[in-house]
Amino acid sequence: MTYLILSVAASVLIVVIFKLLQKFEVNTFQTIVVNYLVAFGFGISANTSAIGVADVFEAKWFYGSVIVGAMFIGLFNLMAWTAQKNGLSVVSVASKMSVIIPIVFGIFLYQESVGYQKIIGIILALLSVYMVSVKSKTSINFKKNLLLPLLLFFGSGISDTYINYLQNTAISEDNIPLFLACVFGFAGSIGLIILAIKKFRNEIQLDAKSIVGGLILGLTNYASLYYVIKSLQLPNMESSTFFTLNNVAIVMASTLTGLWVFKEHLTKKNWIGIGMALIAIFLVTFA
């Protein structure tokens, strides 16, 4: 449970960092690229296993790390496009509701436990995510540019599902840092290529503030994914339980942080969603 709490805390801190980036007008994409490079460096320094470069390429998880890294940078751009076309609430709902994909895969692929209490908890969790994500004076239009929300929904869900699959089949406790280093390193490499192309076309100006933001975000991002994998590797932690608890706790905690720290307004629907989230957490935890 400690790893789960740390994972949620790191994920909420990422939300706070993104809000601060917006407040101080820091270039988000450049910060994301720096963040991946920082996380790569941290993963390399945190690795204690004696393994050579050739061994990395031969590791069972190597090609998986390449795929996950590509997913990370791809999903970030997809979120940006969806926000531009459909609005931030659609991004929040589509990405958070995608938790149903790893939950279903966990139940059917790994024969995880399922009962009425757990099913009710999962349904309440999904409803609470929607209720909390819908902000005041916001119209949700999924039909407009429907392809983008659908891609975001399936992309986010498949990413979580694939990470769970890798930790079940290829990643040991000793090589988590090296796996994460490869994930973030590949994502950062793609980001650098995109930045170089944009700079060559004079589409962007390099932002020095993004280096500071990327340093803080990189360490937090690394911690978030590290504790996700550590949580999934716990002997009594089922992935369907973890992804439900992790997702709904992040949404609830992020919303309350926005209320207390950034003085955001919560509607009656948001408060109902938070109450449903608490009930969902209780039902799934003690199912």
Q: What is the pLDDT of residue 95?
A: 86
Q: What is the pLDDT of residue 114?
A: 85
Domain spans of the chain, in order of start:
2-285
Q: What is the pLDDT of residue 214?
A: 93
Q: Are 261 and 48 contacting, i.e. CB atoms less than 8 angstroms apart?
A: no
> Which amino acid, 22?
Q
Q: What is the pLDDT of residue 120?
A: 94
Enumerate residue ranges in the chain where pLDDT < 70.
88, 135-145
Q: What is the pLDDT of residue 146?
A: 78
Across all residues in the chain, what is the average pLDDT? Answer: 89
Q: What is the pLDDT of residue 174?
A: 87
